[in-house]
């Protein structure tokens, strides 16, 4: 049984990030694996899970989710081997500190050496990152600039958009994937969903062709063309 913990969808559900749980379950079931999505809402105990999913949210919900996770023993669960996929606000929560209303600094869970401050402008639009040798596509909408500590690996190099700082997006550890890409990111990137599922289960997955693959290819083509055009314009100036 693959247990997929969807953390506080009532707080961190911006841009359909909760759909990442449905994608993991569907792709597990397609390989004849039993998978169960376990939503954890405000007031509920933190259920055991093989992977926990954190989505995006505004400052107030983000701060509350961080406090709830701190009190629920989430850090201990991760130290014990649970995996995590974190998007946007979730990415910031796992780090050392992040910015809230009035640009005040708020303590994160400290699972990753990553500090987020308020950037000079909001990052909104398409996001494409070269991660694990593949293009990862999505949509970003955030005001943060995230700096990774020494020894923390980025998820990938930004091709289109801003991500953490205009150069890299997210971070990757042995048990965590974090990105600024909404979407939900696993629905837009079936290869990434399978990578996550393979690591969590410890199994090599058989291919599962679907309409998601053709949609992903179309999106990659569109963003590759856009990047090429922007690059040519920049060289002219």
Report the chain's mean pLDDT, rounded to a whole number. 94
The pLDDT of residue 234 is above 80 = no
**Domain range list for the chain:** 2-236
Across 126-152, average pLDDT? 96
Nearest Cα neighbor of 21 from 8, 2, 34, 37 is 37
Look-up: residue for tokens 């949210």?
Answer: 57
Nearest Cα neighbor of 11 from 89, 75, 76, 72 is 89
pLDDT at 215: 95
- What are 52-85's pLDDT values in tens digits? 999 999 999 999 999 999 999 999 999 999 999 9
- Helix 190-201 to helix 19-30 angle (10° resolution) is 70
- Spatial separation of the C-alpha atoms in residues 194 and 189, rounded to whole Å: 9
Across 86-93, average pLDDT? 98
Q: Which helix (H) or strand (E) holds 4?
A: strand 2-7
Could you tell me the pTM of the whole model? 0.94
CATH architecture of 2-236: 3-Layer(aba) Sandwich (3.40)
Summary count for the chain: helices (H), strands (E) = 7, 12
Q: E strands within 105-208?
A: 105-107, 114-131, 134-148, 156-160, 168-169, 171-172, 176-179
């Amino acid at each position: 049984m693959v247990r997929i913990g969807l953390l506080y969808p009532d707080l961190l559900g911006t841009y359909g990030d909760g759909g990442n749980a449905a994608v993991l379950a569907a792709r597990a079931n397609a390989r004849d694996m039993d998978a169960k999505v376990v939503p954890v809402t405000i007031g509920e105990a933190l259920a055991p899970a093989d992977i926990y999913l954190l989505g995006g949210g505004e400052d107030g919900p983000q701060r509350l989710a961080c406090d709830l996770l701190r009190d629920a023993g989430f850090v201990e669960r991760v130290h014990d081997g649970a995996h995590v996929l974190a998007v946007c606000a979730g990415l910031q929560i796992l780090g050392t500190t992040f910015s809230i209303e009035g640009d005040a600094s708020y303590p994160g869970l400290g699972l990753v050496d990553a500090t987020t401050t308020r950037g000079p402008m909001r990052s909104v639009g398409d996001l494409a990152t070269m991660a694990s040798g593949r293009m990862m596509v999505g949509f970003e909408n955030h005001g943060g600039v995230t700096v990774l500590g020494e020894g923390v690996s980025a998820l990938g190099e930004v091709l289109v958009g801003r991500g953490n700082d205009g150069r890299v997006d997210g971070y990757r550890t042995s048990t965590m994937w974090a990105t600024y890409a909404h979407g939900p990111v696993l629905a837009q990137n079936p290869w990434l969903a399978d990578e996550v599922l393979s690591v969590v289960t410890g199994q090599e997955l058989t291919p599962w062709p679907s309409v998601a693959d053709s949609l992903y290819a179309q999106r990659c083509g569109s963003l590759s063309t856009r990047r090429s055009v922007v690059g040519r314009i920049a060289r002219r100036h």
